[in-house]
Structure 1
Amino acid sequence: MTADRRLTVFACVVIVQVACGDMVRNLIGWAGWGVTIGLVVAWSLVELWLRRREVPYPGRPALLFVAMAFVSAFWAGSWWSTLMGAALTLGIAAAALVIATLSLRRLVAVLHWSLQGLLIGSLVFEIVAALWIGPIRPVWHGDIENSDVYWWTHGELFSGGRVYGLMGNANLLGMLALMALIIAAARAFAGHDRRTWPVWVVLSIAMIAGSQSVTVAATVAAIAASGALIVIRFRVSREAYYRAFWSSLSAIGIVVIIGAVLWQSIAEWMGRTPDLTGRLEFWRIVLVRWLYSPVVGDGWMGYWMPWVEPYGGLLRQGSIVFLQAHNVWLDIALQIGIVGVIIFLALQITAMRNAVALIRYGAEHAAVRSVPLLLLIALAVQGFTESRPLTEIGALLLFLFAAGEPRSREGGPRTLPLSVQSGDRGLLGFSSRPRRRGRANRVG
């Protein structure tokens, strides 16, 4: 196997592993999942060493974040669990640096086929459950109290119920489907998948609808607005773009205010409780817990480990135990305090900056260059009601797009965070390179 092919296989394995960790845990439990993660981390470190001359600079915020995760073991309640969580974060960061050696076009293709493969598998899984098997429980239950309440899927694909997919989580399925939709649409606009793109777009939309996730629905709106602004920026002058941007921002503010005033009626219409399905109480509990150590937190874990106190029973809803704060920023504050929040904010800003740099200076088709920024926006919106962007595929993409050198004095990046290739003109008629007829045509 050639080095390039091995890199592609590595990227596919890592993306699938971090995209559906719940599936692995449902099949072989936490211990088995830990073994598979250990193997992937070891492979990541080996690939990082073999490609040490090719990988980009990880970025100072990423280095500080990983360092903070390890250092927090000194004051954590369970130091060995914190070291496990930190090692997992290090492995994800190492894998992200290796994957960053792919060209942007290849990266988008690997993400496309990996996510669409998971969606196809999820659709088949739900069809089998709905027609022949019925509700499916996880193969592994462990020692979780009242484990009979945990279902992999309820098999309600044809009866109007929520679809859980291979991931065993409707919200995660919906978010992965949204990522797949962003990529499928970008590839269609770039002229890829000329005959099959409607299949991938329809499949993604169907999985989003089946997940019935309010968080994903709000994220879809944010992505639609962001995508429209990107298209406008390629078509109009800088001044006209800023007018459209501030008008859109004002419209969003008005919508948020109206939504807050009418939230109870909106929640009832969507079939949700006004307390965001218990999240308001969850956030209160997490804030109270955070006050015990507000500066440096209780120690890093990432995804809460159920055997570590008090996380195994901190958030309960009936017989169900939740292993996340359902908010990225509260989760960061709880685990590594205000210091961690500042570092994580810097990491987000760095990733966004690099994504904008790709749009401005990349050589690939404009639609494909927009994929990193749209994925990061989706993760940022999801982070208000879910902690998933902090772990697994969210962390991988964040470290991946944050990699790259600082900006030069001229304003451009010294090196792009991903190597790029030129592309063809696509459905929107964008040229594969940014137009250079004056400052008004540069994406800012």
Structure 2
Amino acid sequence: MEQLDSRGFRLGFAGFVLFTGLAGDFWRNSLSWYGYGAIVAVIVAISIVLLVRNRARLRLSGLPYTLLAFLLVTTVSIAWSFYPLYSALGATVQLVTTAAAVSIVITLSWTQLLTVLGWVFRAVLGLSFLFEFVVSAFIRHPIYPIWIAPEAHPAALLYWSRNLLFVSGKIQGILGNSSLLGMAALLGLIVFAIQLASRRVGRGWGWFWIGVAVLTIGLTRSATIFVGVLVVAVVAVAALVVRRARSRRLAYAGVGVGVLVLAAVGFLLRNPILGVLGKSDTLTGRQGIWDKVIGLATERPAFGWGWLSYWIPWIAPFKGLIRRGGVAVAHAHNAWLDVWLQVGIVGLVVFAALVLATLLRSWIMATDGIITKPGEPGRLTWVALLPILMLAAQLVQSVAESRILLEGGWMLLVIWAVKTKLTPLAAEPSIAERETT
């Protein structure tokens, strides 16, 4: 059991957990749902063991109360759920996903977390290009996941790869979805840039992976991700301006004016911008999905229909509710509407509090220096930008996808929420000694 405490195991296990959370479709599409289930079972078991072995580092008072409140709401929703057995399953999945994320928080430092995230996103992007190359160079036709029988003529939306690499099409990579691959590229771009700026990777290696991330964003061509790149850039500039400013008041005033101007320009030019991005004003059919979700949510507005996370397409009220391209839609394509639908206004308020509290702590971490000794000026570090930039990207995605509530998206939110409260950056003085802005 001593092996569980070794640095190599902690880093490797954390990387495996995050890869599985962010690239779960890779395991499902290649090993089937049964293989994926076996992997998840192993992860859950080891995560629980790690939590027990490191329980001295985990104080209940150190966990965000808003996170505990949201988990409580999703669990208690079983009592009023329209589908109580499935809500029990959904709440259990939410709890074990949280446990896996917390096990990472208490076993990794901030710099180790940055390193592991670098491994994970390099693996996702690198394997995606290798996968698409093999499909286009050798198989030469679209392929389905292993659990789909092609002779059944399933919907084209279920293709794992569309064989589009050599024609500069919207590649889907090992995730089987161009939007999710684009999001992985954006998150990877943030991690790679921070690693390069903090000199934790060589310049050649760092710029190479930044180039891979940018190329992936270009090939996936997701409008949401293009907006995410802009928002992340604005947040990064704002944080750097504030952390370097002599007058915080003037800095915040300037940032506020800049954000308002950008928001106004974006609103006034929204139709031309959507046209350039190849999107209609219905946002690729999402407006129709949102309308149906809102209509269903208003039937049980206060407490919702009961927590599920992913929708269960064969039960009421989701059976036949929304289909796109012959495939049942499994989430609201908007995290906020999904929370309202499943746990009502009560759950929505708690979730908003969780996000806002995490944003505030992440912003303070990004803009305030690390003080390691009484009386010394705070030192500013690049790794301090990690949670605020990653969370900014996730929140942009939350408007068009519900992934922040699911699998790797939820893991990352839990990591930012718990680690910004439980493990202050000042607890790792070696960071400030190695990298400064």
TM over 0.5: yes
Q: Which residue of 1 aligns with 2:255?
A: 245
Give yes or no for contact 2:303–2:347 (8 Å, CA) kept in 1: yes
Give yes or no for contact 2:78–2:87 (8 Å, CA) kept in 1: yes
Q: Which residue of 2 aligns with 1:38?
A: 41
| Residue type of the alignment partner of 1:400 | I
What's the offset of the Cα at 1:49? 1.2
Q: Which residue of 1 aligns with 2:273?
A: 266
- State how far apart, in whole Å, the 2-side matches of 1:47 and 1:217 are: 38
Question: Alpha-carbon deviations, 1:301-359, whole Å to 9, x = none?
Answer: 11223333333532212312221101010000011111110110111022112212433
- State the percentage of identical aligned residues: 30
Q: Which residue of 2 aligns with 1:438?
A: none
What's the offset of the Cα at 1:180? 0.6
Question: Alpha-carbon deviations, 1:78-116, whole Å to 9, x = none?
Answer: 322212211111112112222112111100110111111
- 2:97 corresponds, among 92, 95, 99, to 92
Question: Alpha-carbon deviations, 1:202-253, whole Å to 9, x = none?
Answer: 1111111111100000000000111111221233221331232112122122
Structure 2 unmatched runs, 5+: 372-378
Residue 322 of structure 2 corresponds to residue 315 of structure 1: yes
Distance 1:367 1:39, change over 3 A: same
Give yes or no for contact 2:370–2:432 (8 Å, CA) kept in 1: no
For residues 146-157 of structure 1, the aligned pairs below 5 Å read 147-149=154-156, 150-157=158-165
What's the offset of the Cα at 1:285? 0.3
Residue 267 of structure 2 corresponds to residue 257 of structure 1: yes
Give yes or no for contact 2:370–2:425 (8 Å, CA) kept in 1: no
Residue 409 of structure 2 corresponds to residue 378 of structure 1: no
What's the offset of the Cα at 1:54? 1.2
| TM-score normalised according to structure 1 size | 0.88
Q: Which residue of 1 aligns with 2:374?
A: none
Q: Which residue of 2 aligns with 1:408?
A: none
What's the offset of the Cα at 1:168? 0.5
Q: Which residue of 2 aligns with 1:213?
A: 222
Question: Alpha-carbon deviations, 1:243-271, whole Å to 9, x = none?
Answer: 321121221221232134xx1x4333332
| Residue type of the alignment partner of 1:38 | A
Q: Point out the more displaced range, 360-369 or 325-334.
A: 360-369
What's the offset of the Cα at 1:284? 0.3
Q: Which residue of 1 aligns with 2:375?
A: none
Residue 14 of structure 2 corresponds to residue 6 of structure 1: no
SS in 2 for 1:100: helix
What's the offset of the Cα at 1:414? 8.4
- 1:54 corresponds, among 51, 54, 57, to 57
Give yes or no for contact 2:194–2:386 (8 Å, CA) kept in 1: yes
| Residue type of the alignment partner of 1:378 | A
Q: Point out the more displaced range, 84-93 or 414-423.
A: 414-423
Give yes or no for contact 1:365–1:425 (8 Å, CA) kept in 2: no
SS in 2 for 1:155: coil
Q: Which residue of 2 aligns with 1:82?
A: 87
Q: Which residue of 2 aligns with 1:159?
A: 167
For residues 115-126 of structure 1, the aligned pairs below 5 Å read 115-126=121-132
Q: Point out the more displaced range, 303-312 or 89-98.
A: 303-312
- 1:391 corresponds, among 402, 406, 416, to 406
Structure 1 unmatched runs, 5+: 406-412, 431-444
Q: Point out the more displaced range, 359-368 or 160-169.
A: 359-368
SS in 2 for 1:191: coil
Residue 172 of structure 2 corresponds to residue 173 of structure 1: no
Question: Alpha-carbon deviations, 1:406-443, whole Å to 9, x = none?
Answer: xxxxxxx786289534236789x62xxxxxxxxxxxxx
For residues 239-388 of structure 1, the aligned pairs below 5 Å read 239-260=249-270, 263=271, 265-359=272-366, 360-362=368-370, 366-388=381-403
Q: Which residue of 2 aligns with 1:131?
A: 137
Equivalent pairs, count: 419
Q: Which residue of 1 aligns with 2:417?
A: 402
What's the offset of the Cα at 1:26? 1.9
- 1:226 corresponds, among 221, 235, 238, to 235
The structure that is helix-richer by fraction is 2
What's the offset of the Cα at 1:372? 0.7
SS in 2 for 1:147: coil
Q: Point out the more displaced range, 239-248 or 215-224.
A: 239-248
| TM-score normalised according to structure 2 size | 0.89
Give yes or no for contact 2:25–2:176 (8 Å, CA) kept in 1: yes
- 1:22 corresponds, among 25, 28, 37, to 25
Distance 1:393 1:335, change over 3 A: same
